[in-house]
Every structure is written in C-alpha cells, then in structure tokens.
Amino acid sequence: PAPLDPQQLSPRRVKRRLMASIVVLHALSLLAAAILVMRAKEPTPKGADKKALLSSLAANKESVGWVSIRGPIMAGETGRPWERGAEQWARRIEQLAETKGVKAIVLDINSPGGSVGAVQEIHSRILRVKKEKNIPFVALFGDVSASGGYYLGAACDKIVAHPGTLTGSIGVIFSVANLEGLFNKIGLKQDPIKSGKHKDIGSPARPMTAEERQLLQAMIDDTYGQFVGAVAEGRKMTVEEVKPLADGRIYTGTQALNLKLVDQLGDSKDALMLAAQLGGIKDAKPKVRRDTERMSDLFEMFETKARLTLGLGPITIPLANLGGQAPGLHYLWTGW
C-alpha cells in the first residue's frame, strides 16, 4: 500500500494496520523458528557405529566463519542489529569468533572503503579478535576492495584477490564543495553567527581560506599516517616501503601481488581452503558458517514487510551508503 498521512487515518484504521502488522510478524517469526528447528535436527544413520558417529559430529563442528562486507563502509543509521553498518559487521565478526567450532574467518570484501571512524571500528575489532581468540583471518577481495576496503584486508593474516580486482587507493580524502557561485545566482546568502573563526570550516557558501586549508591538511596527514602505519604493520612492511605505494592510486590484483599488497591470486574456494589450512581444519571440504548473516537478512525482510503492511513505505538507504560522501574524513575511493 502507498504511504498514508497519519492525520488522515482514523483510530480504527490505525488499529487495524497495527494488528495486521503484528499478525504478519508473528507468522514470519513462527516460520523462522520452524526453519531453525528443522536445521538443528540431524538424522542419525541406522546401524552407525556410535564412536564413528561422535567422531564425525566432532569433525563437522570445525568450520570457517564467513562475513561479507558489501558497499561503502559507514556507521549504521539506526543501530538495528540486522542493519548493514560498521557496528553490525564488527558484531558479526565477534559472534562468529565466539561460535564453537569456528577455527578461522574469511572477510569477503567488495567495498570502495568508507568513513574513517567506521573503517577503524571494524579494523580494531579484527585485531582484538585475532589477539583474544587466536583465530586467523583471510581477506577475499571481490570486484573492488580499495581504500578502507584495503585497510580491513591489511588487518587479516592473508589476502586473496582476483587478478582483476581493483584495490589499493591507500589514502584519505576530505571533500569540500564551493557553491558560492550557485548561491549568488539564486540569491542565497549565509550569514553564520559563530563562536570562533573556524567554526564553519568547510562551508560550501564561501571559499576556503589558506589557514583553513592548512588545518584540514594537517588532519589529512594525521589520518593518512594512521592508514600507512596499519598497512605497514599488517603486511609486515616498513613505512618507507609502503609510502611510495600509498599515493592514492589503484592497482589490479596482479599488480598488488607483485607489490606484496596481497598474498595470492584466487577465488572464494582458494580463500576458504587457505583459511581452513591456517585454522588447522583437515577436512577436504571445510564447512562454512554464516548463520548470523542469514538471520540478519531474515529480520531485515520482517522489518520491510511490517513497514509495507503499515503503509510506511520501504526502508530508505542514506545517500552515503549508495556511494555519496557524507561530511568528514574518508578512506574512500571516489571512483566507485
């Protein structure tokens, strides 16, 4: 149904909408519970040796966790646990690390990067999990794993990339638009009252001063140094070795391999087998664990259905999550 104006809804109609939404959510929750129960039931082979069966079940518990990071990396807008944002991705990584039997984790990254804080949130969580849980990480680069996407890969023990993957773009950007000419044409003038001369730094309504540019450049240099340091530490290189590669340019997977920015060329199967090897899993066909993602997708579907039932329309996605830049510092490849 089309979104409705709440002022045009009678109390009876609002109540009817709410009841319909509750019924739909209840039905879907019962369906989800049934699916989980069915998945938990494992048939026992008739006549199977008890010891062999227990040994098989124990072996099957060993698995490789899989977390897919897609699109620009930004902070979540609402904090919902099933949302796709830095906090939620970091939480999924921790949940998999705490899942019994998970011996290694693959980060499947297809992202141009994102805001500095969001990228560093996930990067920090990866390092903490590696230290506290002693779980190896393998990064798998998809079509693009640039800037902040590469920042996350650098935190992993190994990086697998496709030959044609676009990666690199090691650097920081702070975009400032000067719309003064446009504002003059339409007769718009801003006259801010501010507590200090730099309070409206980056304002699109006026040119940037030389002093402001110097202040922003100092911020860029600081966060750039953090990026280079993270790459040097993660790739076992010196800062002097990283800096010539960190001028913002992008590389193919093949070029990155020659520059020691990735460890091998391959696909998802190669990343899985490498993670299993690092995690000490001897199974020829390692089990992949990504239950948390499936459940988050299910809850996201519930919310969308509920909103449509209430006539609130679908969930909107912020411009920043579609590739546009929100204000601030970004580890982001803008060619995405």
Residues 6+ apart with CB under 8 A from 101: 61, 62, 63, 289
Catalytic residue chosen out of the listed positions 61, 189, 199, 269: 199
Tokens representing 236 are: 């076992």
Tokens representing 5 are: 């104006």
Rounded to whole angstroms, what are the CA distances from 271 to 159, 236, 251, 287, 318? 8, 20, 20, 13, 32
- CB distance 114 to 72 below 8 Å: yes
Burial of 134 (0-12, 13-18, 19+ CB in 10 A): exposed
Annotated catalytic, 147? Answer: yes
Annotated catalytic, 41? Answer: no
DSSP state of 197: T
* Whole-angstrom distance, CA of residue 89 vs CA of residue 289: 15
Catalytic residue chosen out of the listed positions 21, 147, 169, 203: 147
Tokens 């699916």 — which residue? 35
* Whole-angstrom distance, CA of residue 302 vs CA of residue 308: 10
Q: Which residues are catalytic?
A: 147, 199
